[in-house]
Amino acid sequence: MPSTATQPRKELGLFDSICIIVGIIIGAGIYKTTPIIASVLPNAGWLVAVWVLGGLLSLIGALCYAELATAFPHAGGDYVFLTRAYGRWMGFLFAWCELWVVRPGSIGMMAFVFATYAREIFPLRLPGGPQFSLMAYAMGAIAVLTLINILGVREGKWTQNLLTVLKVLSLALIFVVGMLFVPGATGQKAPSADPPPFDLRLAMILVLFTYGGWNEMAYVAAEVKNPTRNILRALVLGTLAVTAIYVLATVAFVRGLGFTGVQKSEVVAADLLRLSMGDFGSKLIALIICISALGSVNGQIFTGARVYYAMGRDHRVFRILGSWDPQRSTPVWSLLVQGVITLGLVTAFGWYQDGFNNLLNFTTPVFWTFFFLVGLSLFVLRARYPDVPRPYRTLFFPITPVIFCSSCLFMIYSSVTYAIQNRTYEALWAIGVLVVGILVAAVSALWQPRVAVTGETSESEITRQP
């Protein structure tokens, strides 16, 4: 077992933890998905309701995660829970998919959002056309933020805190403009003989996607000060804060543009600010979205590397990822490998059509499958480890985890049927990576003897955890 000097130190306070959650969740989804969600709902009341429902489902998931993360406050989060509940092979398979599919795909998606709006502010004219300028911006953002996190945990968390504060203030500006400086338009109606659209299924798919990221807190549980209190507080306060921000932003959009205006808008926040600020408003919103996307990218880089660190400590085949730099207090090799793979996926999926959608199709089915298994692990771990101290126990158990698991199954079904209906081959690549991971897990199991791992520490070690 590595010495304490080469293990994570507790350097994340409550504010740092909340900034990680809020910063990762609030990327650019609220700007991109709101008009699409409005277009499949009959009125503004439903639009606000689905954001509230999405926040409630996310809060239920956060309550489930709070029990898992406070009972097993190790670096790696889901990796630890899955290893303890289902065995070494499942934990390895999760980390493998995080390394090659889910994490680099999610980082790449937000990097492409940043690139789209950065190009509006500072156009790049590169050989190969606009697609290559998008890739250049996306790859540049990933490289710079990876380097900042390699410099040290303080640099990574300060960058995250700054970007999160800026994006929250930006959304506050949008709310103030929509409520006070734009003439109300909520009374406008679209004359139409057709019945109002209503597709709650599609609306909730987009809403839950936009809320994604609240679970990231579990990945850095080993670095949280006073984890028995602050993990629960960060999960609950962060999720509630994002829900309030999303609802208030939606109210501002509807008041400023009218529900019909929101439905027809392609750039809802830009249209709102343009009403009061002219062309300057469109440039300002581009800058705001760039900041939001960068906050999400940085947060995912920060937390994702902790998963590979945990895997590297437990599996010889990935030993290099399990090293922790005691001076920088960060997993340098995990950050480097994560950055290289992410740049590779951005190149592979970004040169044709829409890089954001390509990566979305690539990551979604795998992500929600493991999310479901984590929800199910709450039942398994209570049965297998009844004597493990649980500083927090999920409220209304077993109803809350059942609801959480059901929402995950809904997203798995929706993403798979979407891939089939639209014949997107990106999901097939993800399945291929999963199959390779199963083979590597089998080889890893034969290569090294049975040893205690991060996710399978003894009961006495768990009891001694701070």
pLDDT tens-digit profile of 194-207?
A: 666 778 888 888 89
pTM of the model: 0.82
- What's the pLDDT band for 60 if we cut at 50, 70, 90? very high
| Section 138-149 average pLDDT | 93
CA distances from 87 to 73, 310, 366, 437, 441 (A): 18, 14, 19, 15, 11
Return the ∠ at Cα 46 (arms to 43 and 52), rounded to 5°: 150
Q: Whole-angstrom Cα distance, residue 4 to residue 18?
A: 26
Which range has the top average pLDDT, 158-162, 191-195, 212-216? Answer: 158-162
Looking at residue 197, the DSSP 8-state letter turns out to be P
Q: How confident is the model at residue 378 (pLDDT cuts 50, 70, 90)?
A: very high
Q: Is 9 helix (H, G, I), strand (E, B) or coil?
A: coil
Query: pLDDT higher for 320 or 192?
Result: 320
pLDDT tens digit sequence for 312-336? 888 777 888 888 888 888 889 999 9
> Does residue 65 register a pLDDT over 80?
yes
**58 CA to centre of own chain:** 12
Determine the Cα–Cα distance for residues 307 and 76; give it in Å rounded to an integer. Answer: 4
Long-range interactions of 126-132: CB distance < 8 A, separation 24+: 131/350, 131/351, 131/352, 132/351
DSSP for 367-400, written as a single string: HHHHHHHHHHHHHHHHHH-TTS--SS--TTTTHH
Q: Is the pLDDT of residue 448 over 70?
A: no
For residues 140 and 68, what is the distance between their CA atoms, to the nearest angstrom?
36
Task: Enumerate domains of the chain plus CATH numbers.
Answer: 7-459 (1.20.1740.10)
Q: How far apart are CA 44 and CA 288, in angstroms?
A: 25
Say how far apart CA 459 and CA 145 lie, in whole Å.
Answer: 38
Residue 114 main-chain phi, psi, to 5 deg: -55, -45
| pLDDT reading at 28 higher than 60 | yes
pLDDT attached to residue 25: 83
Contact of 41 with 205, CB cutoff 8 Å: no
- The residue that leads in pLDDT, 126 or 99, is 99
The whole-chain average pLDDT of the chain stands at 82
Q: How confident is residue 184, by pLDDT bands cut at 50, 70 and 90? A: low
**In the predicted model, is pLDDT for residue 461 greater than 70?**
no
Reply yes or no on whether the pLDDT at 458 is more than 50. no
Share of the chain above pLDDT 70, in %: 89
How many residues are listed for the chain in this entry? 466
